[in-house]
Structure 1
Amino acid sequence: MDDKNEIRKITMAELFPLIIEMKAKHWRLVQICAVSIEQGYEMSYSFCKNEEYRMVTLRLEVGEEETIASITPIYPCAFLQENEAAELFGVKIENISPNYQDKLYRIDEVAPFKKKE
């Protein structure tokens, strides 16, 4: 793997301290990706440091019934991607600001990308 791109598997306890660290070190949030996995969801938070051409992705596995805290207090721009993960996948994210309450998209199906049983 290219040493300028890194994927770090993290725990729920590590999420906020690492998000705060990324912000303090001037990393830019470039994307949040949700994926359905057997146990629930995989959330990938990708950050870029432009002047160094580096990218770091923090990858977190979240149980289907687990709730994660929004990172919008630290990265306000995360609100669209967090609303998308909540609406399309059913990821339980608390305190998204602003929270579109599953009305970001005009869709008929609830959590269409959530793993079906």
Structure 2
Amino acid sequence: MSDRIIQSNKEELYASCIKRKMEGWRLAQICAVTINDGFEMSYTFVKDSDMDTLRICLKEDEPISSITQIYPCAFLQENEAAELFGVHIENITMDYKHKLYRIEADTPFKAKEDA
């Protein structure tokens, strides 16, 4: 049993996802977190009793490609990261365009600028 956090970057994400998909890994979750000047994205994959989390840091306005072409189930979690945090995810297969949730505030979990 292994549980690994692997620091990665957006350029390696797509190839890493394809490799894991071909090896039989399941996408377990995608998590967005606000950090200084941007976001930390964690993509967790599970196979048997092993778990790998690819961790990617993005600048606030830096786009990242969707992985829905590899893992179609990612559309919900990618829409959530975009709508709640403001992560710029490009080419989501089923893009809800910030209408996944019925919320009044735009990107409520995005870091707010000091007034």
TM tier relative to shorter chain: over 0.9
* Partner residue of 1:14 out of 12, 15, 18: 12
- 2: CA distance, partners of 1:13 / 1:39: 19
Is residue 65 of structure 1 aligned with residue 46 of structure 2? no
The runs of 5 or more residues in structure 1 that have no matched partner are: none
- 1: CA distance, partners of 2:24 / 2:76: 21
Q: Which residue of 1 aligns with 2:109?
A: 113
Give the share of equivalent positions with the same residue, in percent: 57
- 2: CA distance, partners of 1:107 / 1:67: 23
- 1: CA distance, partners of 2:3 / 2:111: 29
| Count of residue pairs the alignment pairs up | 113
Q: Which residue of 2 aligns with 1:95?
A: 91
RMSD: 0.8
Structure 1 segments of 4+ aligned residues over 2 angstroms from their partners? none
Cα distance, 1:14 vs. partner? 1.0
- 1: CA distance, partners of 2:11 / 2:73: 22
CA deviation map 1:56-86 (0-9, x unaligned): 0000001111100100000000000000000
Q: Which residue of 2 aligns with 1:43?
A: 41
State the TM-score, normalizing by the size of structure 1. Answer: 0.94
State the TM-score, normalizing by the size of structure 2. Answer: 0.96
